[in-house]
A and B are shown apart, each in its own frame.
Chain A
C-alpha cells in the first residue's frame, strides 16, 4: 500500500473494476456492512485522535482546538448521526398513489449509486475527506478517497490507518497529485464529489461528462460580511474574527472574505477588530500558538501579491507583517480598498480582511450581487427588515445572520454552493441523499383494468378518459367498474 507503483490509468481501471465486482455482490448495500464501516470510523477517530491532530499540525500548524472542533468532532458527529438515523433513512418512502392508476401503491426507494470518488481539499483535509465518505458509505456505495497532496501528512495517515478500520475491499485511499487524479478521472464513476477551486471543478465536471457521471462540486468564492451600524459591534468583531483567523487562518471556503459596512461604522469596527485580535492572539500574533500558518510558499506568494498590489499599498490599517520562512502573515486589516484591486477580485483564502465602506448599508446588496455567487454570505444587524431583505435578495450557497461559519455545524441544513460556488449539497441526511439514487416504484395488481385505455380509440373512450382525468367522480366510478365494456 505504501509502494510507489505508478498509479496510472491502467491501475485505476483495474481498481475500479475490482470495486465494481465487489459492489455487484450487494455487500455494501447491506445495513450491517454500512454500520460496521461507520463504527470503524468512529473507533478510528477515538483511537487515533492524537495522530490525526499531529498530522494536521504538521501540514497546517493547525491549533489543537481547531483540529478538534472543526475537523475531528464534526466527522465524529456525522458518523454518530448516520448510525442513529440510518435505518430510518434506508426505508422506502410511501407517496400518494395516483387516483387514475387505482388500485396502485407508489413509493421511493433509496438505492446506492455504485462506486463513488471523493476528491478532498487541503485546508480541512480530515473533515473534507471523511464527511463525504461517511455519506457515501451510509448510502451503501463503494468509495475511493483521494486526499489532497498539499496536506501530505494527513494523506499518508489516511493511507496508513483507514484500511485498518474499514473494509479495504470496498473503501480505498489513493494518494497522489495531478497524475493520479487524472488517472482516476478517466474512469467511470457513479458519482464524484469534489471540494476545491472552480478551475479544477471545471476539469472534474468535463471529465465526468465523458461518462455521464453526476457531480457535486463544493467550491468557494468571496464570502461577504455586511456589518450594519445597528449591531453589537463588539460581538460582531469577535464572531467575524474567530470565523476568519480562527478557521485555519482564513484558509476556509466559508471564511469571511471581505467586509462591507457604513462609512460611519467603519472606524468603530476597525477598533473592535483590533481589540479582538489582540485579545485572541496577543500583541505579537507570530508568537501565538492559536494561528494556523499559510499552507505553503505558493500560497504565501499569492497572498503577498495581494498585499503588494499598488492599489492597496496605503490601505493597511492593522497587521501586514510577514515571515516567509515561517510561512507567517499577520492578521491584516485593509480599509477602503478599490473594488478593482486584486484583493477584492480574487478569493483571498488567507489572513487578509479588506473592509469596504458605503454610505447606506443597503448599497452592500448591490455590491454583493454584482459579483459571482459566493458559498456563504453573512450579515450582522438587529434590523429585521434588513435581515429579511438580505435573505431574500442575496443568492449564496448559505446565509448566516449575526455569526460566521456556524452553518456547517448544522446537519439539518444543506451545505453547498450555487453558481460559481458549486452545485449539489451534503451534510446530515443530505449526504445520504446525494449519494443515493431515488428510485420511483409503482406497484399495481391485475385488477382495476380500464378498457377505455386500449385501442381502438373511439370518441366514447376519449370522453370517458377526459372525464376521468378531469377528476369527475361519475367518470371515475364508471371507469372502475369497467364500463364501457368495449374489448
Chain B
C-alpha cells in the first residue's frame, strides 16, 4: 500500500500487484452485495457535500474554471447521478424476466446483470471531476472493483482525488493511480474486465490495441467536430445565447460536446455574427480578459495548438471578432472566424478551444452534405423552427447525439445514452446506461426434468424430423402431441 502523496514509482510490477489485490477482493464477493454498493455511493455523495470547496478550488486551479461552471457542470451533475443511482439501484439489480421460447417449453428465462470484475477508468482533464466520477459511479453500482486514473493534465484534481477519495471509499476495492504515460502504460499491461476511456482518438487506438491482448471490452468516449447548423428561420437572440453559453460557457470551448463550428446560409451569416458579438459582450464585457466567467486554456501546449489553428494564413485574415491572446495568462479571447477554407486546420481538427469558425452555404439544406462528408461527431446541433428540417436532421445526421434548438444539454438527461459513433467512439453511459455498461448481461434459461421430447434424440427418423419441423413452424397440434411425450416409441 503506497503512502498517499509519496511518489513511489508505479511500474508494471506494482500495477500487477494492485490488480491482483483488487481481483482478490472481487472474488471474495466484497463488491457484489447491494449494501456495499450503496455504502460506496453514499460515501461519494458525502464526499461531494463535505469537500465541495476543495474540489472547486482544484478545478479553478487547473483551468480557472468559473465556480459557477464547476458547480453546474461538474458537482451538481455527479451529485444528481449518485442520487439517481441510490434510488434506482435495487431495481436495476433485479433479474429481468423474458419470454421463454415455445420450443423450450416448459422453461423460464431471465437476464441477470452481473459485475464484470475489475475495471479501469482512464480520465481526461477538461471535466476532470465529472468525467472521473460519472463512470466510477457506474462501475461501482454495477458491483465492480475500480481503478481510477485521473488525467495528469489536470494535476490539481488528480492530486485531490488521490488524497480525498481513499478517505471515503473502500480502498480494498477502489483505487486511484496518479501519473502520466509511464503509469498508464503499466496499467494497460494488466488484464482488466473492462476499460473505460475518455479522451482523444489517437490514445484510444493505443488503449484498444492494449485491451485486445486480453480480450478486454472497452468504451471509448472520444470527440470530434460537433457542428451547429443555424437556419435563418429561428429566434436569433436565443440562438446566439445558447451557442455562446454552450461554447465559451463550457470550459471556454474545451468540451467534447462544445459547438465546434457553425454552418449557416451566406445571407444569414452577417446577422448571426452580429448577434454572437453582442451576446459575447453581454456575457463577458468589452474586455473578456477581465471577465471572471471564462475558463483559461489548460496549458501552454494547448495554447500553442490553438494559436497554430488561428494563425494559419487563410484563417487569420477571416477573423471577424476577437483573436486577442495572452500567452502568460493562457488566455485567448472568444474568437469568431468567417468562412475559413474547408481544408484549413481549424476546419479539419477538433478545435477544443474558444475559436468558432462559421462556414456558409447557399441553402441551409446544403449543410447536411458538409456534415456527412466528415467523420461522425459526438454531437450535432440544429437551430430551426422548421419541423421538417428538424426531422430530417434528427433522422439522417449520424452523430453520438443530436440536440435541436440548444447546445450541450443532452448530457444532462440520464435517460439518454451518452456516447459516440464512428470516430467519436463507441459504447455509452449515463444513468442506467452506466450500470449496463459495466455489467455482463447473462442469459439464464431454467427447465425442470419434465417436458421430455423423445423426437429430439437420435436415432433421427424421418417422422421425428417431420414432427420437429411442424413444432418449429408453430403447429399447435404438434405442440400438444410433443408435450404429451409423443412419439412414445423410441
Contact = CB atoms under 8 A, between A and B. Distances in A.
B394 A109 contact: yes
A440 B399 CA distance: 9
Given A402-B448, A437-B421, A73 B458 contact: no
B245 A439 contact: no
Interface centre among B100, B402, B442 (most CB of A within 10 A): B442
Interface in A429-485: 437-446, 449, 453-457, 461-462, 465-466, 469
Given A401-B445, A406-B104, A457-B66, A106 B413 contact: yes
A469 B406 contact: no
Contact of B472 (A73, A438, A462): A73
B201 interface: yes
A181 to B, nearest CB: 16
A6 interface: no
B5 interface: no
A414 B447 contact: no
Given A219-B215, A403-B445, A97 B413 contact: yes
B421 A410 contact: no
A411 B116 CA distance: 23
B457 A453 contact: no
Given A202-B212, A418-B440, A68 B469 contact: yes
A280 B459 contact: yes
A398 B416 CA distance: 28
Interface string B428-439: 100000000000
B458 A442 contact: no
Contact of A413 (B76, B98, B395): B98
A445 B405 contact: yes
Contact of B101 (A190, A412, A455): A412
A214 B201 CA distance: 13
B445 A410 contact: yes
B341 interface: no
B462 to A, nearest CB: 9
Interface string A388-422: 00010001111111110011011111110011101
Given A209-B205, A209-B209, A449 B238 contact: yes
B390 interface: yes
Contact of A446 (B100, B238, B448): B238
B446 interface: yes
Most chain B Cβ neighbours within 10 Å, of A63, A97, A209, A242? A209
A333 interface: no
A446 B235 contact: yes
A438 B404 contact: no
B215 A95 contact: no
A65 interface: yes
Contact of A440 (B67, B101, B400): B400
A205 B445 contact: no
B279 to A, nearest CB: 8
B449 A232 contact: yes
B225 interface: no
B362 interface: no
Interface string A230-247: 011001101000100010
Nearest to A245: B458
Contacts of B403: 441-444
Contact of B208 (A100, A108, A205): A205
A455 B205 contact: no
B354 to A, nearest CB: 13
Nearest to B72: A465
A433 to B, nearest CB: 11
B109 interface: yes
Interface string A45-73: 00000000000000000011110110001
Nearest to A376: B443
A217 interface: yes
Contact of A442 (B100, B103, B109, B413): B413
Contacts of B282: 487
A414 B217 contact: no
Q: What band does the interface of chain A fall in when counting residues whose beta carbon is under 8 Å from B?
A: 35 or more
A222 to B, nearest CB: 16
A297 interface: no
A226 B64 CA distance: 60
Given A205-B212, A212-B220, A413 B465 contact: no
A73 B458 CA distance: 18
Given A95-B413, A395-B440, A399-B444, A443 B390 contact: yes
A418 B441 CA distance: 9
Contacts of B217: 423-424
Nearest to A412: B98
A409 B215 contact: no
Contact of A212 (B193, B204, B464): B204
Contacts of A114: 422
A208 B212 CA distance: 9
B396 A98 contact: no
Contacts of B291: 455-456
B415 A106 contact: yes
B416 A440 contact: yes
Contacts of B71: 462, 465-466
B449 A402 contact: yes
A347 interface: no
B127 to A, nearest CB: 16
A198 B220 CA distance: 22
A446 B72 CA distance: 22
A75 to B, nearest CB: 12
A96 B215 contact: no
A398 B443 contact: yes
A422 B440 CA distance: 11
B445 A439 contact: no
Contacts of B235: 446
B249 A407 contact: no
A133 B234 CA distance: 43
B417 A101 contact: no
Interface string B380-400: 000001000010001110111
B27 interface: yes
A382 interface: yes
B418 interface: yes
A444 B412 CA distance: 14
B446 to A, nearest CB: 4
Nearest to B384: A446
Contacts of A362: none
Interface in B278-293: 282-285, 291-293
B460 A65 contact: yes
B472 A205 contact: no
B442 A469 contact: no
A228 B212 CA distance: 37
A210 B413 CA distance: 32
A369 to B, nearest CB: 7
B460 A212 contact: no
Interface in A256-309: 279-282, 288-290
Interface in B44-64: none
Nearest 6 A/B pairs, CB to CB: A413-B443, A457-B68, A209-B208, A65-B460, A205-B212, A440-B401
Interface of A: 24, 26, 63-66, 68-69, 73, 77, 95-98, 100-101, 104, 106, 108-109, 111, 113-114, 190, 198, 201-202, 205-206, 208-210, 212, 214, 217, 219, 231-232, 235-236, 238, 242, 246, 279-282, 288-290, 369, 382, 387, 391, 395-403, 406-407, 409-415, 418-420, 422-425, 437-446, 449, 453-457, 461-462, 465-466, 469, 487
Given A406-B445, A462-B67, A487-B282, 5 more contacts: A290-B458, A401-B444, A402-B447, A455-B291, A466-B76
Interface of B: 27, 66-69, 71-72, 76, 80, 98-101, 103-104, 107, 109, 111-112, 114, 116-117, 193, 201, 204-205, 208-209, 211-213, 215, 217, 220, 222, 234-235, 238, 241, 244-245, 249, 282-285, 291-293, 372, 385, 390, 394-396, 398-406, 409-410, 412-413, 415-418, 421-423, 425-428, 440-449, 452, 456-460, 464-465, 468-469, 472, 490
6 contacts: A63-B460, A109-B395, A406-B103, A439-B399, A439-B402, A455-B291
